[in-house]
Every structure is written in structure tokens, then in C-alpha cells.
Structure 1
Amino acid sequence: MTPLRIFISSVQTELAKERAALRDYLRGDPLMRRFFEVFLFEEVPASDRRPDALYLDEVERCDLYVGLFGSDYGTEDAEGLSPTEREFDRATTLGVHRLIFVKGTENHVRHPKMEVLIGKAQVGLIRKRFNTQAELVTGLYAALVEYLEVKELIRWGPFDAAPCAKAVLEDLDFERIIRFIRTARRVRQFPLTEDSSPEELLEHLKLLNDGRLTNAAVLLFGKAPQRHLISSEVRCAHFHGTEVAKPIPSYQVYKGTVFDLVDQAVDFVLSKINRSIGTRTESARAPRTYEIPEEVVTEAIVNAVAHRDYTDNGSVQVMLFVDRLEVWNPGRLPPPLTLEKLRVAHTSVPGNPLLAESMYLAEYIERMGTGTLDMIRRCVKAGLPEPEFAVPQGFVTTVWRAELAGQAGVQAGVQAGVQAGVQAALSLKEVAMLQACAQGAVPSEVLLTAAGYSSRTRNFRRWLDRFLHEGLLERTVPDKPSSPLQKYRLTDKGRAALSGLKTRDTEA
């Protein structure tokens, strides 16, 4: 959110230290600096404009007026009014939220006009007294927290349980609610029936807060959720290189419910990566195998949408590069989760529990904390490196791709023959490496050239290790892997796999 501007007004010479103390506190406190920025007289650069006119313009731009009233009244203009009173009057006329802090006790000796100004500030305002800077800072902190609560800018419960401002029942898609109930009954034995009213469903799922729609209700069932929660969209981009660079070949901004967002983003990724088409041995529909398992893509995107920080102005970003898939979402891991715990069995700690519960009922997520472990297991099974998790600025999941073959934009796959016992889809580079061994044992340099590598990259070593592990290739000097005489040759299994390969087109 854009920080709210606070205008601090006082007689400059008398309360300069107090103003500086408030400035330093507001800029140093993690909570306060997130919501507020401060205007002080002393920080205004030299200008041709009169100071009093400049300060009054700043009052008009501010969201909150903080008046510090002491003993002095200040320099009077031709009409007998000081800048402090002018600023207070302007804030009052504009309806700016005002917070008044008076230094000293009621018996404190003051300029007569300051006494009048303090009396004027009594009308409709809560005045707080202070004697020390610590008391002033404490008083302002309490007042600002109360202001943020009233404006519903901060809350003590989860974001998804907070009321969604201005959202009403008519903003929900009732047909979507019926479909949700139908799905939840089928996959999770949900107790409500399809003839249940929207209000009954919302009450059952705790999606009402004192009769008002919660943010979760809008995200789950809204006709147009982004009208209320603009940053809840998902942005997807496809790059032909390994870095973010223009022109972007494909860029989409998806809107809708959390279910829509997940479905659209997953489809975006799957339409851009390699896939192989198997044979129709068990059904009329040919099986498809993606270079990144579909379940891994889905889990990464579901996690980003379900567990993101919706108070952040950022949106979920899904970026597909030539060598990896990156899914970024605003927010960090909720305690007690750590990056290390994501790689072992751990409990589920949803950042948006109401959202997570409904997505569980719709079979988009589980509640066992197994999502990241499943991603790791599926990537390893597919011959891919383990996915990486990081929290540099937000939470980032990186899933490494298989090397793409040929020129940018050319995508193809080869499905190994079932009779050869090779279950995973092979890229053209892998096939080229196997074919290079068809006439006999060859050194690694020949495999490099066949696959189009100029050096022993990480992916080349990974594919070579995979072939050795799966028994498709074998070393001619098995006892000395690093021998300068080392060569590689096809095994019987490798020859059977190579003869059974059938190249099929894949869709980009």
C-alpha cells in the first residue's frame, strides 16, 4: 500500500526535538514505517515559495495531522494567527484526521492564544498530554495503531478471515458455490447438499465475519475478486533464455477466483513445456508425460496462491525459462516452518487457513504438509534435480527443466518403448547421446558433441549419470570412472531402448 502521510505541526523553535523524535521513531519502527511517511518543516528544501503557503499545501496532501501544542504560540501573521493555528484550521476544514498532543499539565503557563487554540482543539478531538519524549512516542503509537484498526489496515487475525470492504452477497457467483458443494461432497464427503443456501455454506465454512463477507469468501466464490483485492491476480511469463528479458514471447495476467487462477496458470506452463504422447494401451486416450511432472507444476502454483501474503501489493508470478520454472509469491514462511523443514516431514501451517480449508475440500490441496516432499519425490523420479525453495524477497520455488533441444522455440520429445523398460520421456539431446554409441564405445567428448554441448555442463553430467544408473550405458573402464581411457557403450537394455524409440511431436 502507499504509505499514509503524517504532517507534524508545532512551533518550530519550541518543540523541534519532539518532532525529530517522532520522525525517527516512525521511520525506524517496522510496523509504522510500513504504513506511514512523515513530513517535517526542517526537511523541506529551499524554495521561492513562502514557507507558510508551502506548509499549508502539505497539510492538504496529508492523511493525518499531528499537532504538538506547548507553551509558545509562534509568530503571528497580519491577522494575528500563527502558522500552527493556520495548519490546524486547514486540517479541520479539510476533514483530515487530527491527533493533538499537549505538553505539560493543565496548570502549565502558556501564551494566551495557545490556550485558546488548545480549547479549540477540544471540540471532537481526544487530546493527550505528555511531559517527556517517551510519553509522546508511546501516545502517538497507541493512537496510530487505533487508527489503523478502525481503517481495517491492520488486524489481529488472518487476512482471509477479515471482512472484505464493500463486498456484499450479490458479489458472489452462486453457480460456483453449487459446483463447489457438488465437488466437495464427491471427494471429501462434505455434509451440505446442493440445495443449501449460499448463506448456509458461508456460515459452515466460517466465511462470514459479523455477517460480512470475508476476504476468503470473495477469493473463493467472487464474480470478480480483483475488483476488491486487486493484487490477487497471477502473472505468467515465458522467456526463451535464462533471464528476464524483453521482448517477452508470452505474457498473461490471469484474474478470477483462486481456483481459476490455479487452473489458468497451470495450463499456461503445461502448454509451454515438452510433453510426450504414449500409446493407447489401457484406454482410448493416449497418456501424456510432461518434462516437468504435472503434479509438481500444480503444487508449486497452488502453494503460491493459497499461502501468499494478500496484504502485499505484489502478485503471484509464474516465470518459465529455458532451464527452469520459477513461481514467486509475496510473503514468507510462517513460523515454525523453515526452508530446511520443507525437505522433511512437517506439519501443515497455512497462512490463510480459511482459504486452505476450502481449497482442501475442492481437492486442490491436502492438509498433511506433504506438498513439498511430493514435489521433491516426483522431480527425482522424473530424473530432474530436486526443486529449490528460497525466501529472498517473497517465497520462490524453482523447478529445473530438462535441457531443450535444437533452436529456441523447437520443442519435441521422444517416448521410450515400453518393451525396453524405460518409463521416462527422453529429450532429443538424450536420444542423440544414445545414438552416438550405436556403432560402439565412444569417449565423453563424442557424447558432448552429439548432444550439442560445448563443455561438461551440470545437465550433461546429470543425463550421463542417469543413463549409467538406469543401465542404458556402461563404462568400458568401470573400476576407474575418471580414467583418461574411459569410454561409454550401449548395454543390451540401451540397444533395446534405442531400437524401440518412436519420436512424436509435442506441443509448445
Structure 2
Amino acid sequence: MSEAELVQILTRGEDSRHQFKREAHNADSIAAELAAFANSGGGRLFLGVGDDGQIVGLDAANVRRVNQLLSNAASQHVRPPIHPITHNVQTEHGVVMVVTVPDGLSKPYIDNHGRIWVKNGSDKRHVTAREEIQRLFQRAGLVYADVIPVTGTSADDIDEKAFAAYFTRRYGQSSEVAGQPLSQLLQNLGLGDGHELNLAGLMLFGKRPQRYRPAFEVKAVAFPGLVLHDSRYLDSEDIGGTLLEQYQRSFAFIKRNLHHIQADRGFNTLGQLEIPEQALEELLVNALIHRDYFTSASIRLMVFADRVEIISPGHLPDSLSTEAIRHGATNRRNPTLTEHAVHILPYRGLGTGIPRALHDWPTIELLDEIASNQFKVVLPRPQLPSETTPQVTPQVTPQVGDLLAAIRGEQTRTELMDALQLNDRKHFRVAYLQPALDAGLIAMTIPDKPNSRLQKYRITEQGQALLAKRH
């Protein structure tokens, strides 16, 4: 590094990759800086530079002293030892020692006091949150979220019918023939420790997984417009259950909130989904299996007028990038979950899911949002010709269209819900009934008494015209 290159870096100021220190006298302090860099992607420490970026320099004696201090700090005050690279840059004010710390391969790096340091902007901070410490150990391959025991669970929390079907399908014999108690079978398969279930066992075969891990579900919302902060919504569902149940219900949610296109199919057929089903399938499974289960947050599934977003807790592991996974690179964040999910979900486990989804829908965006600790997949929706499918608006949604098609004369709310095979009264009111009333597509038979027990609904002329146009 030349002096000109050094000055150019210093003028940009400190950040999470560049730290300035006028001098160094304490091995523990230097060790904390080295550990923070090693735990946070690496960086450079500039010794002989003030906080304002002005070079003060080190003389020859100080260079020798700091070199010895640095060597001692890196080898004796950090566990495991760190191996920084030093480079001395001569300036008119003296020597600036540039200490390069590579991203650590054996995270977490801990100081002599048992503290874990990470970078926090241009500063560093002591990690105390359990989830963050667990993620550091996960990156080092020392612990995985899916095999951590779930306190309070036992084999009694297993859906024995689902587990027996899985066991027979995978091993060609019934679990009863195996001649071992359920708790032992679960332990043999890595789904428990003989006493408690681990997270993989709970999420794959638990009767009620959200009883113990309420955040591990999918929160799905369909909006009429383009923005998240829209107070209106067309459809919403909190989707719990096992991973298979979450996958099935999430897929159903997407399908009922997207258009079907006739394309070259027959007039009386349902048509194909506007976004290829296989692309959606691959991305949903990817989110459920590869999310960060050390982060107590839900997967978010959002359908907007112009796109579908699938947001998974946890950014990509350090060894991966969005470009790498586009080409099939993979990192098994939850290896036990992955091993069994291959036989339960439409998942192959070969790192081919993202490439297949991109092949089917090339406009997919992959966003690794490190600051918010999440991974987002955005699937743009196609602009459909108006003569093929009406534009989705708050007034004319697929749900409203289904309601118009279901009405026969004058019908009560219960009769309409039965015709649409719906059970949730709130969902029916919010997603179907109220939007149709607001748009003037249906009307009450007793408008001056909206809450009357005798209330019925009929289609209006405007609704009939719209229905005729749709067909």
C-alpha cells in the first residue's frame, strides 16, 4: 500500500471494515479489536492514525513495541488465535502500521475474559444476546438450531400417525415392526435425545409445534396495492402446523390470491397460474428448510398487485452470496431438518432449487439483507392483458369475483360462505363481502338494518355487468 492509497482510505473515515488508533498499549484492548474483526467479516486496523483520520505516525521504537504487543494479543489474548497480516507504510509523519484481519474461519473468537466481540458500525460491541451467540456458533459448525432440544416436549407430542407413515415410506417397514419405543426411534433418527424432541422433530412431526415455538409459522397477507403499509388487505392467514402443513397452506394461499391464465388451455379449464407453480414451490420449501431457526421470527409471505415476496428470518450464511446460490451453491444451515425434509416436502437437497426457480421465472430477485437479518425473494407478477384477466384492484379481486359467481338470487351470509366453502367469518367479511359492497357489486336486501338476522345479499346490475364481462 502506498502513502497515497493510505491517505485515500483515511479520508473516507472509520467504518465496520476500517478502525483507526493513535497508539496501542494494552493487549486486551487490541485483542478485542482483532476478535471483533474476525467475528464480523474481517477488516483493517490502522495504528498511528487519530480518530479524525489524521496521521500521527509511529517511530521505529514504537513500531517494534507495537509489533510485539500485536503478536502477543493475537496469539495469547484471543481464542482461537488470530493470524493478522501487518504492513508498514512510511509517511512524512512516521510509520502507519496497517493490520489486516481476515474473516475468521473458526468463529466465534473470544477474548481472555470470555467475551465475544463483533463490529457495530465503526465501533465494536460485546455480544450478550443468546440468539446472536448461537448464530456465531452455528457459523462455526459447532451447533445447529434444528438439533437443540425443545424444553418440555416428549414423544407424546409426536403425531404418531404421520411419523409412522413417514417411517414406512422411507424404510419399507412399519415403525412397530422396528420393535423399539417411539422415543428411541426418534433418537436414532436424530429427532430427539430420548427424552425431549429437538426442533427438527417438533417441526416435522409435532402435533402442535407452535405451542412450543409460536414464532415458527408463516404470516401471509395479500394487499390490493403496491406497498406494505397499506391498511387494507384482501386476504390474511397465520399459517402454523408442521413444515408440511405450512407448505401446503402457504401454497394454497398464494394460489388463491394470484390469477389463472387460460393461455392455450380449454375455455372450461382453470388455466395455469400467472407465476409458474414450480418456482413458487421451490422457493416456499427453501424458506421453510433454510431459514434461521435461531431467530425467533416468522416467515412472511406477501402478495402485492405487482409482486410476491417471501421473506425468511436470517441472512445468508457467510460462505454464501446471492450470486453463488443462483448457480447452485448451498449451505445446510439445518442439516437434520434437511435430511428428513427430502422425504416429506418436494425438496431435493442438491442446491438446485433456486436455479430451477430462476429457470422457470428468470425475473426473480434475491436480496440478502444483512442489516435486517433476513433473506428476501421477490417474484414480479406479469402485466396481464385486460381482455384476459381484469386488473386486480381493491374492488375487483379474485375473491370478489368468486363471490359474484357464487350468488344465486338472494342469499344469507351463511349460505354464501357455504357456497364458497369458507369457515372463517372475519376472512369472508374482509376479503369477500365488504369489498363487494363497497364497490357496489352486491347490495343488502335490508340496507337500513345491516345487522339484521334476516339480512340477505343480491348481485347488483353493476355486478352482473362485471360478471358477464369476466365470462
Superposed displacement of residue 309, structure 1: 0.8
Give the aligned partner of residue 80 of structure 1.
none
Indicate if the aligned counterparts of 2:152 and 2:196 stay in contact, CA closer than 8 A: no
Give the aligned partner of residue 389 of structure 1.
366
Aligned equivalents of 1:406, 1:152: Cα separation in 2: 47
Aligned equivalents of 1:233, 1:407: Cα separation in 2: 27
Match for 2:112 among 110, 135, 138?
A: 138
Instruction: Note the alpha carbon deviations across 1:151-191, whole angstroms, 9 max, x for none.
Output: 99977311101111111111111112123235xx2xxx534
**Does 1:202 find its partner at 2:186?**
yes
Of structures 1 and 2, the larger Rg is shown by 1
The letter of the residue matching 2:201 is A
Superposed displacement of residue 252, structure 1: 1.2
Give the aligned partner of residue 319 of structure 1.
302
Q: 1:146 to 1:328 in 2, by over 3 A?
A: closer
Aligned equivalents of 1:171, 1:211: Cα separation in 2: 11
**Does 1:328 find its partner at 2:328?**
no
Give the aligned partner of residue 393 of structure 2.
408
Instruction: Note the alpha carbon deviations across 1:366-411, whole angstroms, 9 max, x for none.
Output: 121110111111114xxxxx20101123000011111254351536
Aligned equivalents of 1:340, 1:278: Cα separation in 2: 33
**Does 1:263 find its partner at 2:248?**
yes
What TM-score, normalized by structure 1, do the two folds share? 0.48
Indicate if the aligned counterparts of 1:324 and 1:400 stay in contact, CA closer than 8 A: yes
Indicate if the aligned counterparts of 2:287 and 2:299 stay in contact, CA closer than 8 A: yes
Indicate if the aligned counterparts of 1:334 and 1:349 stay in contact, CA closer than 8 A: yes
Match for 2:293 among 296, 310, 320?
A: 310
Aligned equivalents of 1:312, 1:224: Cα separation in 2: 20
Match for 2:145 among 159, 164, 172?
A: 159
Identity of aligned residues (%): 24
Give the aligned partner of residue 246 of structure 1.
231
Superposed displacement of residue 219, structure 1: 0.8
Give the aligned partner of residue 94 of structure 2.
none
Superposed displacement of residue 256, structure 1: 0.8
Q: How do residues 33-432 of structure 1 correspond to structure 2 at under 5 angstroms?
A: 138-139=112-113, 141=115, 156-182=142-168, 185=169, 190-195=171-176, 196=178, 198-199=182-183, 201-209=185-193, 211-244=195-228, 245-276=230-261, 286=269, 288-344=271-327, 346-380=328-362, 386-392=363-369, 393=372, 394-404=374-384, 405-406=390-391, 408-409=393-394, 410=396
Q: 1:146 to 1:365 in 2, by over 3 A?
A: same
Q: How do residues 16-27 of structure 1 correspond to structure 2 at under 5 angstroms?
A: none
Q: 1:362 to 1:279 in 2, by over 3 A?
A: same
Report which stretch shifted further, 362-371 or 285-294: 285-294
Aligned equivalents of 2:173, 2:36: Cα separation in 1: 47
Indicate if the aligned counterparts of 1:277 and 1:504 stay in contact, CA closer than 8 A: no
Aligned equivalents of 2:392, 2:331: Cα separation in 1: 43
Q: 1:287 to 1:167 in 2, by over 3 A?
A: same
Superposed displacement of residue 145, structure 1: 9.7
Indicate if the aligned counterparts of 2:299 and 2:313 stay in contact, CA closer than 8 A: yes
Aligned equivalents of 1:355, 1:256: Cα separation in 2: 15
What TM-score, normalized by structure 2, do the two folds share? 0.51
Q: 1:219 to 1:31 in 2, by over 3 A?
A: farther
Aligned equivalents of 1:399, 1:161: Cα separation in 2: 32
Superposed displacement of residue 348, structure 1: 3.4
Superposed displacement of residue 264, structure 1: 0.9
Q: 1:504 to 1:272 in 2, by over 3 A?
A: farther
SS of the residue 2:153 aligns to: coil
Q: 1:211 to 1:242 in 2, by over 3 A?
A: same
Aligned equivalents of 1:279, 1:391: Cα separation in 2: 37
The letter of the residue matching 1:276 is I
Q: 1:278 to 1:169 in 2, by over 3 A?
A: same
Structure 1: give runs of 5+ residues left out of the alignment: 1-20, 33-136, 381-385, 413-502
Aligned equivalents of 1:391, 1:225: Cα separation in 2: 28
Superposed displacement of residue 351, structure 1: 1.0
Superposed displacement of residue 233, structure 1: 1.1
Q: 1:337 to 1:31 in 2, by over 3 A?
A: closer
Q: 1:356 to 1:250 in 2, by over 3 A?
A: same
Superposed displacement of residue 199, structure 1: 3.4
Aligned equivalents of 1:259, 1:330: Cα separation in 2: 18
The letter of the residue matching 2:366 is F
Aligned equivalents of 2:129, 2:375: Cα separation in 1: 30
Aligned equivalents of 1:140, 1:347: Cα separation in 2: 34
Instruction: Note the alpha carbon deviations across 1:109-146, whole angstroms, 9 max, x for none.
Output: xxxxxxxxxxxxxxxxxxxxxxxxxxxx733539x999
Indicate if the aligned counterparts of 1:279 and 1:287 stay in contact, CA closer than 8 A: no
The letter of the residue matching 1:390 is L
Indicate if the aligned counterparts of 2:306 and 2:380 stay in contact, CA closer than 8 A: yes
Give the aligned partner of residue 447 of structure 1.
none
Indicate if the aligned counterparts of 2:187 and 2:193 stay in contact, CA closer than 8 A: no
Structure 2: give runs of 5+ residues left out of the alignment: 1-27, 40-110, 117-125, 385-389, 399-467
The letter of the residue matching 1:398 is V
SS of the residue 2:330 aligns to: coil
